[in-house]
């Protein structure tokens, strides 16, 4: 008896949700262009993903308020790319999401992904379908590197566009900055074992070595481990000028506190992984003091030029923006602009045409001029340096490119 109820219940729920997930007819009201947004909205990266989502949503609302892009209304299709098993973004889920976008004939382009791990899974899918995505935050250079073209875009055309620059510049430019401005001569490099962290630590290390900085060692922090005293003691014993951490917040939270205890006076630097407004709350103001971090974009959120935008964002979206919320906002504007140009050339709005139009983008935006190279990377390769001071993040300047 119990089992029958259970089976019936499951069947009922299954039926209802299958019905609910059947595609509904949305072309009834004229011209609509759907934009796919696949972001890790749950899990460890949820907060950053949420900011990106809201940046995009604000842009879509603005475009639609002005009558749409060349008369086409923009509509967002939002999927979560995180899974509980991963606890964060999941490349398989991202792939599934993008396949759903492609299966939906009204989706013409996408904004995302957030993380490069997702990017590696979805780029070949996009190449196959000749659809473009513009990522506001994925910085791993491999995906657009022509060396790996056969892996990530077998058909050859760029499909993975970025409104951020890549770690090919983020890591090395930080090395340049530390070398020139902070007189770093010796460094110890740490990563957190994640795809992003390892990549950027590698690029930092390579550049440091090119500059003649002595890399005293390289090791890996386990984000799930509580005690970093061992490695910090070892590093202290080697007495480097600087410590570079490539990775995200989970390990950074502990690295800051324990690093402060063990080696308070070493120059400490990280990437955009430690540009996280919750860091002082997680580690304590004094632990975070003095840490440098970077952003793969020009100064945005803290820039006085964007104050109005930031105020509008805060009031509409009820949260603080991040730099990548802005690059996400700009990504939507790029798509809107591309739609406009395609329509103006009397060409139908298809994925291929839109991709071509995006490739040919030359526009201004709130982050500055946007144009893409043949690989899909943004032409302006600005990396910004910030520093944590007194519990707040302060813009230092543009990182030197050499």
Partner 1 sequence: MSALAGRLGARLGRARWRALPIARRRQIMTPVLLAIGLAFPFLTGNAGNVDAAANAFTYVLLALGLNIVVGFAGLLDLGYAAFFAIGAYGYGIAASGQLKPAWSSLWAPLAWAGQVSRLVVPGQPDTVQFHVTFWPMLAVTAIVCAVFGMLFGAPTLRLRGDYLAIVTLGFGEIVPVVARNWEGLTNGAQGLGGIRTPTLLGYDFGFSPYPYYFLGLALVTAAVWISIRLQESRVGRAWMAIREDELAAGAMGVNHVHYKLLAFAMGAAVGGLAGTFYVAKLTTATPDMFTFPVSVMVLVMVVLGGLGSIRGVVVAALFVAFLQSVLLQDLTEYVHALGRLVGSDFLQRLELITSLELIFGLILVLMMIFRREGLWPAVRKVSALTREQQAAAPSRGSAVDLEWARPQTAGGPGRPLLQIEALRKSFGGVAAADEITLTVHAGELVSVIGPNGSGKTTLFNLITGLISPDSGSIRLEGHEIGGRPSHEIVTRGVARTFQNIRLFNNLSVMENLLVGEHSRLEAGVLGAILRPPRVRREEERAVERALQAVSMFGNRLLPRIDHPVYGLSYANRRRTEIARAIMTRPKLLLLDEPAAGMNPAETLELMDLIHGFRGLGITIILIEHKLDVVMDVSDRVVVLDHGVKIAEGAPAQVRSDERVIEAYLGRRRRAA
Partner 2 sequence: MSGLDVVLQQVVNGLALGMMYALLALGFTMVYGIIELINFSHFSVFMTGTFVGLTVLNLMGVTAVSRSLTGLALVATLVVLFAATMATTGLLGVAIERICLRPLRNVSGTAPMITTIGVAFILINVMLLTWGPQAQRFPSLLPNWRWPLLGTAEITFKQVVLFVVGMVLMVILSHLVKRTTLGKAMRATAQDPDAARMMGIDVDRVVVLTFFLGSALAGAGSLFFGLYYGFTGYYVGYTTGLRAFTSAVLGGIGSIPGAVLGGLFIGLVQSLGGQLLGVKWTDVMIFSILIIVMVLRPSGLLGVRAPQKA
Q: If binding is defined by CB under 8 A, does position 281 make contact with partner 2?
A: yes
Say whether residue 282 binds partner 2 (CB under 8 A).
Answer: yes
For partner 2, the binding residue among 26, 239, 311, 350 (CB under 8 A) is: 239
Comparing CB distances to partner 1, the nearer of 26 and 311 is 26
Which of 254/268 has CB closer to partner 2?
A: 254
Least Å distance between CB 337 and partner 1? Answer: 28
Q: At its nearest, how many Å lie between partner 2 and the CB of residue 222?
A: 7
* 195 binding partner 2? (CB under 8 A): no
Q: Nearest approach, Cβ of 136 to partner 1 (angstroms)?
A: 21
Identify what 221 binds: partner 2, partner 1, none; CB under 5 to 8 Å per kind: partner 2
HEC-encoded secondary structure of the chain: CHHHHHHHHHHHHHHHHHHHHCCCCCHHHCCEEEEEEEECCCCCCHHHHHHHHHHHHHHHHHHHHCCCECCEEEEEEEEECEECCCCEECHHHHHHHHHHHHHCCCEEEEECCCCHHHHHHHHHHHHHHCCEEEECCCCCHHHCCHHHHHHHCCCCCCCEEECCCCHHHHHHHHHHHHHHCCCCCEEEEEECCCHHHHHHHHHHHHHHHHCCCEEEEEEECCCCCCCCHHHHHHHHHHCCCEEEEECCHHHHHHHHHHHHHHCCCCEEEECHHHCCCCHHHHHCHHHHCCCEEEECCCCCCCCHHHHHHHHHHHHHHCCCCCHHHHHHHHHHHHHHHHHHHHHHCCCCCCHHHHHHHHHCCEEEECCEEEEECCCCCECCCCCEEEEEECCEEEEEEECCCC
Residue 87 is a binding residue for partner 2 (CB under 8 A): yes
Q: Among partner 1, partner 2, none, what does residue 234 contact (CB within 5–8 Å per kind)?
A: partner 2
**Which residues would be at the binding site for partner 1 (CB under 8 A)?**
1, 3-6, 10, 13-14, 16-18, 20-23, 41-43, 80, 83-88, 90-92, 95-96, 99-100, 102-104, 117, 120-121, 124-125, 128-129, 140, 142, 148, 150-152, 191, 193-195, 197-199, 220
User: Could you say whether residue 157 binds partner 2 (CB under 8 A)?
Assistant: no
Cβ-based nearer residue to partner 2, 235 or 338: 235
Interface residue with partner 2, options 231, 300, 339, 385 (CB under 8 A): 231
If the CB atoms of residues 23 and 304 are measured against partner 1, the closer one turns out to be 23
Q: Which is nearer to partner 1, 90 or 299 (CB)?
A: 90
For partner 2, the binding residues (CB under 8 A) are 43-44, 46, 87, 193, 217, 219-222, 224-231, 233-234, 236-237, 239, 249-250, 253-254, 257-258, 278, 281-284
């Amino acid at each position: 008896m119990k089992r029958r109820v259970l089976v019936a219940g499951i069947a009922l729920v299954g039926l209802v949700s299958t019905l609910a997930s059947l595609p509904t007819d949305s072309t009834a009201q004229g011209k609509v262009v759907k934009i796919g947004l696949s972001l890790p909205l749950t899990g460890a990266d949820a907060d950053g993903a949420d900011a990106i989502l809201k940046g995009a949503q604000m842009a879509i609302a603005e475009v639609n308020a002005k009558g749409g892009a060349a008369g086409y209304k923009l509509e967002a299709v939002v999927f979560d790319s995180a899974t509980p098993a991963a606890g964060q973004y999941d490349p398989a889920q991202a792939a599934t999401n993008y396949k759903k976008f492609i299966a939906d004939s009204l989706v013409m382009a996408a904004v995302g992904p957030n993380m490069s791990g997702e990017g590696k899974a979805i780029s070949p899918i996009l190449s196959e379908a000749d659809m473009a995505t513009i990522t506001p935050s994925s910085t791993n250079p491999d995906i657009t590197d022509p060396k790996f073209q056969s892996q990530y875009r077998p058909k050859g055309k760029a499909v993975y566009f970025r409104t951020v620059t890549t770690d090919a510049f983020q890591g090395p430019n930080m090395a340049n900055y530390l070398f020139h401005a902070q007189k770093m001569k010796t460094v110890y490099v740490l990563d957190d074992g994640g795809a992003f962290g390892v990549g950027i630590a590698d690029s930092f290390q390579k550049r440091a070595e090119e500059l003649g900085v002595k890399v005293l060692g390289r090791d890996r922090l386990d984000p799930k481990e509580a005690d970093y005293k061992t490695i910090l003691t070892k590093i202290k014993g080697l007495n480097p000028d600087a410590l570079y951490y490539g990775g995200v917040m989970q390990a950074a939270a502990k690295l800051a506190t324990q690093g402060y205890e063990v080696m308070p006076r070493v120059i400490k630097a990280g990437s955009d992984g430690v540009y996280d407004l919750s860091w002082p709350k997680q580690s304590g103001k004094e632990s975070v003091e003095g840490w440098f971090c970077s952003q793969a974009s020009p100064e945005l959120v803290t820039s006085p030029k964007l104050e109005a935008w930031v105020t509008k964002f805060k009031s509409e979206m009820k949260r603080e923006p991040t730099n990548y919320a802005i690059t996400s906002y700009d990504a939507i504007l790029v798509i809107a602009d591309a739609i406009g140009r395609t329509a103006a050339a009397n060409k139908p709005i298809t994925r291929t045409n839109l991709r071509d139009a995006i490739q040919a983008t030359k526009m201004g935006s709130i982050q500055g001029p946007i144009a893409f190279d043949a690989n899909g990377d943004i032409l302006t390769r600005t990396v910004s340096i910030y520093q944590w001071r007194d519990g707040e993040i302060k813009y230092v300047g543009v990182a030197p490119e050499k």
